[in-house]
Chain A
Amino acid sequence: MPDDSMRIEVAGENALIVYLGDALSPVVADRVRWLDQQLRERLVDQLIDTVPSYASVLVIYRPDRIRMEALQEHIEEFGRATSEPMTKEEGRLVTLPVWYGTESGPDLAALAESNGLSLDEVVRRHHLRQYRVYAIGFAPGFAYLGEVDEAIARPRLATPRQHVPTGSVGIADRQTAVYPAESPGGWNLIGRCPVRMFDPLAAAPMPVGVGDRIQFEPISRSEHLELGGAP
């Protein structure tokens, strides 16, 4: 089944951007992941890098090794070949433990109150569903996960914090994320995750990639500490 929703635009002297949909959805995320993999596996020598994101893949190429037109044909071919098997090619499922609570999550109480839920209900709704990694950016290892239950969605803080501790789990609108390192940030913090989301010195610096699925699992404070989480 040819894929009509794919659109390719020039993005510079050595870059194309491929748009694969205009909605946030697991189907689009699968297609992003698939195309990115195909490009990385099959055009290794022609490409400098790719940037998979919510609904697009930026493709940075070496014009001395591949013409733009030829690259475009490859992309269209990958797009055509992928419409069916893609759904079978789901990303990995990664479980991330989270110590939820008002101590680890300084915005949990405010979020519960503004959304008319109990603390437990916010936590329950957060770990009840699986999320997709829709994009990685903002900082190394910062994975944008979606979408959270509308009932626990909340806009970013009016004034971002100067210091969000490493591992903090936050909600911004219908997205959620684990802060990979201490940084400024305006997401509503509801807990903390002991798994290191970005380790520049590890062979696999990130436990997740774009297109993977995430399942959060509640743990206690002592389990969090045992797993190496920061107090």
Chain B
Amino acid sequence: MSGFRVLEPGVLSLFQDAGRLGHHALGLTTGGPMDGAAFYWANRLAGNPEGATALEVAQGGLRLECIGDTSVAVAGAAMPLKINDQTKALWRSHRMTAGDVLELGHATAGLRTYVAAADGFEAPVYFGSTAVVRREGLGKPLHAGQELVCGASTDTDWALPMDQIPRCEATVTLRVVEGYQAAEFSAESRGLFYRSAFQVSPRSDRMGYRLEGNAVAAPAGERFSEGIAYGAVQVPPDGQPIVLLNDRQTIGGYPKLGTVLSLDCWKLVQCVPGAKVCFEVISLEAAQAAVEEFTATREATALKRST
């Protein structure tokens, strides 16, 4: 059997696949990888189909012992990777032999790193997905002693060309498709929102990123709870925006200015508390074109054979 034994689970390590889609009517959120780009590359470098189950390692601290030969690929936040105490590179695949110990130290930049193994990890499926959502009791975080089952090693090792590796930016600009109640916000408060720099709050998690800064006056009045899209920017009465992410509640009643472009959400989730965040408007057409181009470019990217 190919796989690993968990020696140390890390701060928070979760199985994630492409997410739980189509069950919002039951109140189920999507889950799925917070950084969709790093997750994509980890799987592709491991030779897996898109959306195969990988480990999302938040902050780091993971140690795995290989108990059956396999390959892994690691991509995402800068966490020092060691195999048998030898420093190894992220954004490429590595062959693992029984007895090898893989160690992901604490992130020096960014927050979340993905470990993909050959053929993906086997994990319990709920509503068609292995995505772990703790709030809903669907799946559990990794624990010490747990055995992880995956496929046998692949023949070739692959690496992502250097110029394709996403960078962590000091200040992240989030492009917003305006919508929902945008028109109900006053011109002044919208102006303030787009002019201001916000700081990522330590109270950010997989449900949403809370931002701190100038208070953005939200339109008054009660409204019925309504469906919340991925990336929606909600402004509660205290004027501190919250960008709602993978484990967001499915419905909510706070006014929303619009929705952050998915590609930019993936940058936001690598931001540590205190990081600076700004917003700018993008039209729906430009947003859809940006996603299309991003997808086409990464699909056209040729991996480097590394051995």
Contact = CB atoms under 8 A, between A and B. Distances in A.
Contact of A139 (B136, B178, B262): B136
Interface in A47-66: 48-58, 60, 63-64
Interface string B110-142: 000000000000000011000000011110000
A59 to B, nearest CB: 8
A17 B27 contact: no
Interface of A: 9-15, 17, 24, 36, 48-58, 60, 63-64, 68, 135-142, 144, 181, 198, 200, 205-206, 209-210
B25 A51 contact: yes
B126 A200 contact: yes
Contact of A138 (B23, B27, B138, B177): B27
B224 A10 contact: no
B250 A137 contact: yes
Please give me the 10 A-B residue pairs with the lowest Cβ-Cβ distance, nearest first. Answer: A58-B227, A51-B227, A12-B259, A10-B179, A137-B251, A54-B224, A12-B229, A15-B229, A13-B287, A56-B226
B186 interface: no
A140 B137 CA distance: 10
Contacts of A139: 27, 135-136
A27 to B, nearest CB: 14
**Which of A137, A206, A209 neighbours the largest number of chain B CB atoms within 10 Å of its CB?**
A137
Contact of B28 (A13, A56, A140): A140
A9 B179 contact: yes
B231 A12 contact: yes
Contacts of A63: 288, 291-292
B288 A13 contact: yes
A53 B284 contact: no
15 contacts: A9-B179, A10-B179, A13-B261, A17-B226, A49-B22, A60-B229, A64-B292, A135-B251, A136-B25, A137-B249, A137-B250, A140-B26, A200-B137, A205-B26, A206-B26
Given A13-B291, A49-B22, A56-B224, A136 B27 contact: yes
Interface in B198-226: 224-226
A135 B177 CA distance: 26
Nearest to B256: A11
A49 B226 contact: no
B258 interface: yes
B25 A17 contact: no
Contacts of B28: 140
Contacts of B195: none
B304 interface: no
Contacts of A55: 224, 226
A57 to B, nearest CB: 7
A11 B229 contact: yes
B229 to A, nearest CB: 4
A168 to B, nearest CB: 17
B291 A49 contact: no
Contact of B179 (A12, A48, A210): A12
A212 B262 CA distance: 34
A48 B22 contact: yes
B37 interface: no
A64 B289 CA distance: 11
Contact of B259 (A11, A54, A210): A11
A57 B229 CA distance: 11
A45 B51 CA distance: 19
Nearest to A52: B25
B137 to A, nearest CB: 7
B180 interface: yes
B242 interface: no
A51 B21 CA distance: 11
B288 A24 contact: no
B23 A49 contact: yes
Contacts of B287: 13
